[in-house]
Amino acid sequence: MKYKLAEVKGGTVTSPQGFLAGATEAAVKYKGRLDLGILYSEKPCASAAVFTGNKVKAAPILVSMKNMEKGKVRAVLANSGCANACTGDKGLKDASETAWLLAAKLGIPRSQVIVASTGVIGTNLPLKRVGAGISKISLTRDGGHKLEKAIMTTDTRPKEIAVKVTDSVGQYVIGGIAKGAGMIHPNMATLLGFITTDASVEISFLRKALKTAIDNTINMVTIDGDTSTNDMVSIMANGASDTEEITGKNGKNFQEALNYVCRFLARSIAADGEGATKLIEVSIEGAKSAADAKKIARTVAGSSLVKSAIHGNDPNWGRIVAALGRGGAAMEEKYVDVFLQDEPMMRQGSPLPFEKNKLSKKLKTGEVKIRVCLNIGSGKAVAWGCDLSQEYVTINSDYTT
């Protein structure tokens, strides 16, 4: 059977068979908005996750890291409005307590539950309201959309996808949701992402496949250079589609489909960065190594000066070159080619003439492409970011007050 991948219209994290979700208004911080949600697989799962690289890890991260060890997680509790980070022992106790409440509701072992939080750092979870919320949530087959709404903070639009894969192992679906917006400079990934599939996948391959997908997609997004204390991406595979078990041997197509889902979520997060009006895609080619290309791609995508220039439709390409030079990768200026919206700006280290007004007009669009050829090797990478607007500052200058 030939490999085929097709997006599922209106797809979300409950599109794969056997997954249920739901959400409620628990008033974690604000009243009148969905802020607490559950994702649940009716069948046992193989599972994997990647967690924040920040040395300061929130309580829900610590609880989830432990519960994910066996790779058998089948339920997620997620809230916005409170990060439960920097909350000491009380925070840890609270996070465990909520995991226990969800496990009790579902009648599964506590070790099969992970918890995820996003919101203000340094405040405690309102345990009573969260507990009441958990018992109130009803789980449905299209509950993924409500769950996505419940984890959004400064996101302006939902980030949801599902793809249907036809493969030699059978037909299966992969669904994913994510939240992003601010404090986004993943070292794992500064965001919450939940991925499901009804394929049957071996745990050790699932772990590897998730890491591979994240490294080249969600970890290549930067909004503001700040890595969060709270964020994670998890995947649960429940085998409900009755595919053959997917392993390292027959997993090439699964990996590709998972990359597709993660790339979609990564681009959605970048395009919806706080205050963003444009998605910026930075492609680096001809670097000495792939690691060098990654490093330099993220540096350019994260440069405040590049981001500000693109916000103002200013073709100030010198800032791209300045960012390249501080990116910590091998490069020689005299070999460098730079393209902005496919227009050549610099060739072999020398500036090329261009029409400033014409190029400025080409920058007035929702997606800006920067392409750099270093011409010293075969390493390549793509990173995603967004423009820096006055609105970003406005959003972030009165978040808690």
Q: Which is nearer to its own copies, 21 or 95 (CB)?
A: 95
Q: What are phi and psi of 80, to 5 degrees?
A: -110, 170
Closest CA to 287 of 365, 378, 399: 378
Q: Which is nearer to its own copies, 355 or 367 (CB)?
A: 355
Position among 356, 358, 364, 378 found at the interface with its own copies (CB under 8 A)? 356
Position among 147, 220, 331, 372 found at the interface with its own copies (CB under 8 A)? 331
Q: Which is nearer to its own copies, 161 or 181 (CB)?
A: 181
Stretch that binds its own copies, among 2-10, 117-125, 170-178, 286-294 (CB under 8 A): 117-125
Does 81 sit near its own copies (CB under 8 A)?
A: no
- Full 3-state SS string of the chain: CCCEEEECCCCCCCCCCCEEEEEECCCCCCCCCCCEEEEEECCCCEEEEEECCCCCCCHHHHHHHHHHCCCCCCEEEEEEEECCCCCHHHHHHHHHHHHHHHHHHHCCCHHHEEEEEEEECCCCCCHHHHHHHHHHCCCECCCHHHHHHHHCCCCCCCEEEEEEEEECCEEEEEEEEEECCCCCCCCCCCCEEEEEECCEECHHHHHHHHHHHHHHCHHHECCCCCCCCCCEEEEEECCCCCCCEECCCCCHHHHHHHHHHHHHHHHHHHHCCCCCCCEEEEEEEEECCHHHHHHHHHHHHHCHHHHHHHHCCCCCCHHHHHHHHCCCCCCCHHHCEEEECCEEEEECCEECCCCHHHHHHHCCCCEEEEEEECCCCCEEEEEEEECCCHHHHHHHCCCCC
Q: What are phi and psi of 62, to 5 degrees?
A: -65, -40
What whole-number distance in Å separates Cα of residue 98 and Cα of residue 38?
Answer: 11
Stretch that binds its own copies, among 55-63, 101-109, 126-134, 198-206 (CB under 8 A): 55-63
Q: Which position among 87, 190, 196, 197 bears the catalytic label?
A: 190
Q: Which is nearer to its own copies, 187 or 204 (CB)?
A: 187
Position among 187, 204, 365, 378 found at the interface with its own copies (CB under 8 A)? 187
Nearest distance, CB of residue 57 and its own copies, angstroms: 8
Query: Hunting for tokens 């998890």 — which residue is that?
Result: 234
Stretch that binds its own copies, among 43-51, 98-106, 137-145, 350-358 (CB under 8 A): 350-358
Site string for its own copies, 154-173 (x = CB under 8 A): --------------------
Q: Which is nearer to its own copies, 75 or 321 (CB)?
A: 321
Does 333 sit near its own copies (CB under 8 A)?
A: yes
Does 397 sit near its own copies (CB under 8 A)?
A: yes
Q: Which is nearer to its own copies, 134 or 373 (CB)?
A: 373
Does 65 sit near its own copies (CB under 8 A)?
A: no
Catalytic annotation on 190?
Answer: yes
Nearest distance, CB of residue 272 and its own copies, angstroms: 17
Q: Residue 296 has which token pair?
A: 């330099």
Does 127 sit near its own copies (CB under 8 A)?
A: no
Position among 7, 69, 142, 226 found at the interface with its own copies (CB under 8 A)? 226
Stretch that binds its own copies, among 86-94, 149-157, 210-218, 239-247 (CB under 8 A): 86-94
Stretch that binds its own copies, among 32-40, 201-209, 222-230, 364-372 (CB under 8 A): 222-230
Position among 17, 153, 227, 241 found at the interface with its own copies (CB under 8 A)? 227
Chain residues 241-300 in contact with its own copies, contact rule CB under 8 A: none
Between helix 203-216 and helix 252-271 the angle, nearest 10°, is 40
Q: Which is nearer to its own copies, 249 or 334 (CB)?
A: 334
Does 85 sit near its own copies (CB under 8 A)?
A: yes
Stretch that binds its own copies, among 102-110, 128-136, 265-273, 318-326 (CB under 8 A): 318-326
Q: Which is nearer to its own copies, 44 or 53 (CB)?
A: 53
Position among 44, 71, 170, 225 found at the interface with its own copies (CB under 8 A)? 225
Please measure the distance between the N-terminal and C-terminal CA atoms of the chain and give it in whole angstroms: 58
Nearest distance, CB of residue 161 and its own copies, angstroms: 28
What whole-number distance in Å separates Cα of residue 135 and Cα of residue 261?
Answer: 31
Q: Residue 115 has which token pair?
A: 């918890």
Report, as residue numbers or ranges, the catalytic residues. 190
